[in-house]
Structure 1
Amino acid sequence: MNPLLGAEQAVLGSVLLDPGQLSHLDWLAPDHFYRPVHQALFAALRKLRDDGHPALAEESVPLSWVTDAVAEASTHVFRGLTAVYAHTLISACPRPAHAPVYGRMVLEGAIHRSITEHAIRLHQAARADALQGEVEGALHYADVLTGVLSDLAQRWGTEPRPVAPATPPATVPVTPPPVRAEQVAEDERFLLAVLAEQPKAMDEVVGWLRPGDFADPAHGQLYRCLGALHHRGEPIDRVTLLWEAQRRGLLADGTLSGDQLAAICDGVGPGSAEWLGELVMRSSVTRTAATSARTIRALSENEALTPGRLINHALHALGPLDEVRSRWQAVNGRPAPTPTAPTRSATGPPPAQVHAALARSAPRPASPSSARPGSAPSLAALRPPSRGHG
């Protein structure tokens, strides 16, 4: 059985067996369940509790608790939920008292799923912006993802902080969409030509444009050479630029060739380095956003990562985008928004949630029945001592 499916069934089964377990699951929401039928049933059980169902006041849980829950949930789902399936859920619950632990497993699955979904949205927005030469959509969904991570950290009871994974997930480098790749490369070549031919052009971009902003690594290395000449106060032209590239080994290792550099510098017309640099920055923002999104998606699909580590690794993966974004907004005269740390509850996570976390790692004494190989507990043994279906 899928572990997450088993956890969802166990949570619902525990509440069907013992309505009192709902008081330990107030931090769990219906949309934390993966299956729609489970979402509907958990919402129905909470509604019956809030409406004061008679089962809450009785020592023995009446059959109406199950039938009324199924009837209420059936108004929101059209298939998959029957009285037979409700009893299947009851059978899937080993111990009703373990409901908070099962619920925490459900929440863990929901955290992985939510981060995956928002990473996909960020990636889609970044690709759409790259096609249109925009950045606002990618930056908006990056803000949304950051807010989601902070909210999930609070729900899980951990402190959100960027932490680099011990082994970064393998992701394919992001390139501009094919219909834009040539235009991006042309913008980069034009910018480099302007910087090589206009002595004062570097002053317009050197404060905010970085070699890593170039999609073509060779163009980034050539910009690095320009920056070195500018930093040393040496003259910049095609001859000094070629010499600097040679000193850095770019000709020897094949990163650049003399013909490539000549092609970039030949035939350049008048142009604005600042305007061209902004075009390069636009491409850098969307490319970095797409890379961050793919890294976060790869992390979220790793089921071995605990939610706390997943959230912190995802925040770390957004770091490069935050850095590029701050430079982009600075050059456009807009201050970068100051991220607000999520407010932590003075009392910490819900006690039932803490108990569930501890229960997952605390050693348990062997049950007397486990001493007899092959023995299995009866259905009656799964119910709380003071409750049973009447």
Structure 2
Amino acid sequence: MNPLLKAEQAVLGAVLLDPGQLSHLEWLAPDHFYRPVHQALFAALRKLRSDGHPAVEGEGPVPLSWVTDAVAETGLQVRGLTASYAHLLVSACPRPAHAPVYGRMALEGAIHRTVAQHAIRLHQEARADALRGEVEGALHHADVLTGVLTDLARRWGTEPRPVAPATSRALDPPAFPPAQADRVAEDEEFLLAVLVERPGAMGEVVDWLRPGDFADPVHGQLYRCLGALHHRGEPIDRITLLWEAHRRGLLADGTLSEDRFAAICDGVGAGDAEWLGKRVMCSSLTRTAAASARTVRALAEDKVLAPGRLINHALHALGPLDEVRARWHTAHSRLASRVPSTDSPPSGPPAARVHAALTRSTPRPAPSPPGRLGPGPAPAVARPPSRNHG
């Protein structure tokens, strides 16, 4: 038994029995039906109504021409609709006055189906962009999905707003081809090497690049350590980075090995941090888009989820992608507004923060025991002027 098929047959049968029910189904569109023959029949019924068919305005019993004309008009678009199937639709409707309820059932199925289709397209485009090193296609289809969710919410009669589900299923991260994963790992290692070797390089990416943008969790943890050193105004090199990683327990719990650390810090340290950061963030954006699409698709395939909750949960699933996109635009606007100048602007943390860090790093002399004065230089005495020189 297919409840969605029964609902589509019932709403079409209601309109065939009572053409006036079309006035209560303005929010229902032909593409909301699953079967193509049902789509064509509902479009034909709406066309007959707009053309002023006598059965729409007439009173009394509905003439047989309403059914025969609907079958003929539908036959211009698809094949397979017969008069016997039209009468089957009539017999499938228990109450013609319940047409709006049947229509909402068909719309509910259309919402689940449409959201799943657009989520699949977003996932496919995100994977394609990841291979091309682009983001435009994924961002475009994310906008399309958001627009579809907003339109479906309006048709369903609810307010579109992101709402987190009470319980969320943990999905495995999207898997990309090995060649793509290797390229992303190389970009991340190259960026970390540049940030370690180039003074002030962290100041070029720290405003918009986050640890979560790294595909490798170890790389993200090292970037977090670099960000902590930069925030405190302390110098950045391989020794300070190693010590920060040690303080955060990355060495003790086996997250970071000596060979892994050496491979990153011994890499080529010459490069443009902003350009490398954009490449890392590009892969982060496509991964986030693919993950959001898989979450939305899983929600849409849950047939027991109410349409309003599905729409709001899907909007919430797109939230991480909106956050990454905002930082992506920040990075591009910063690069566009950067003007070459002969004077090198100061980079890095503020001078006051650097001074405080250097003060913490400078050893202080041990205090003298109470009651004893340690040896020290004699106080300077002003030298009187010589009498031999006037």
TM-score by length of 2: 0.83
Which aligned pairs between 1:161-240 and structure 2 lie closer than 5 A?
A: 161-240=161-240
CA deviation map 1:226-249 (0-9, x unaligned): 111111222222222122112211
Distance 1:174 1:242 in 2: 31
Q: Which residue of 2 aligns with 1:68?
A: 69
Which aligned pairs between 1:231-380 and structure 2 lie closer than 5 A?
A: 231-333=231-333
SS in 2 for 1:333: helix
The residue identity in structure 2 corresponding to 1:201 is A
User: Is 1:77 aligned to residue 57 of structure 2?
Assistant: no
Q: CA 1:269–1:226 in structure 2 vs 1: closer, same or farther (change >3 Å)?
A: closer
| Deviation, structure 1 residue 58 | 3.8
| Deviation, structure 1 residue 53 | 2.0
User: Is 1:28 aligned to residue 28 of structure 2?
Assistant: yes
Distance 1:192 1:101 in 2: 59
The residue identity in structure 2 corresponding to 1:189 is E
Q: Which residue of 1 aligns with 2:148?
A: 148
| Deviation, structure 1 residue 48 | 1.7
Q: Which residue of 1 aligns with 2:60?
A: 59
1:133/1:282 contact within 8 Å kept: yes
Distance 2:329 2:21 in 1: 50
CA deviation map 1:45-97 (0-9, x unaligned): 11222222222314112222211111111111112x11111111111111111
1:131/1:179 contact within 8 Å kept: no
Distance 1:188 1:215 in 2: 8
Q: How many equivalent pairs are there?
A: 334
SS in 2 for 1:235: coil
Distance 1:267 1:87 in 2: 76
Distance 1:175 1:37 in 2: 38
| Deviation, structure 1 residue 320 | 0.7
Q: Which residue of 2 aligns with 1:379?
A: none
Distance 2:26 2:154 in 1: 15
| Deviation, structure 1 residue 14 | 0.8
1:32/1:107 contact within 8 Å kept: yes
The residue identity in structure 1 corresponding to 2:65 is S
1:129/1:286 contact within 8 Å kept: yes
Distance 2:12 2:246 in 1: 69
Q: CA 1:11–1:207 in structure 2 vs 1: closer, same or farther (change >3 Å)?
A: same
Give me the CA root mean square deviation: 1.4
| Deviation, structure 1 residue 253 | 2.1
2:162/2:316 contact within 8 Å kept: yes
SS in 2 for 1:271: coil
CA deviation map 1:185-234 (0-9, x unaligned): 00000111111112211111111110000011111011011111111222
Distance 2:319 2:140 in 1: 15
SS in 2 for 1:158: coil
SS in 1 for 2:333: coil
Q: CA 1:186–1:10 in structure 2 vs 1: closer, same or farther (change >3 Å)?
A: same
Q: CA 1:131–1:321 in structure 2 vs 1: closer, same or farther (change >3 Å)?
A: same
Any gaps of 5 or more consecutive residues in structure 2?
336-390
| Deviation, structure 1 residue 24 | 1.1
2:196/2:269 contact within 8 Å kept: no
Q: Which residue of 2 aligns with 1:132?
A: 132
TM-score by length of 1: 0.83
1:116/1:301 contact within 8 Å kept: yes
Any gaps of 5 or more consecutive residues in structure 1?
336-390
2:190/2:267 contact within 8 Å kept: no
CA deviation map 1:16-56 (0-9, x unaligned): 11112111111111111110000111111112222222223
User: Is 1:8 aligned to residue 40 of structure 2?
Assistant: no
Q: CA 1:222–1:334 in structure 2 vs 1: closer, same or farther (change >3 Å)?
A: closer
Identity in percent: 79
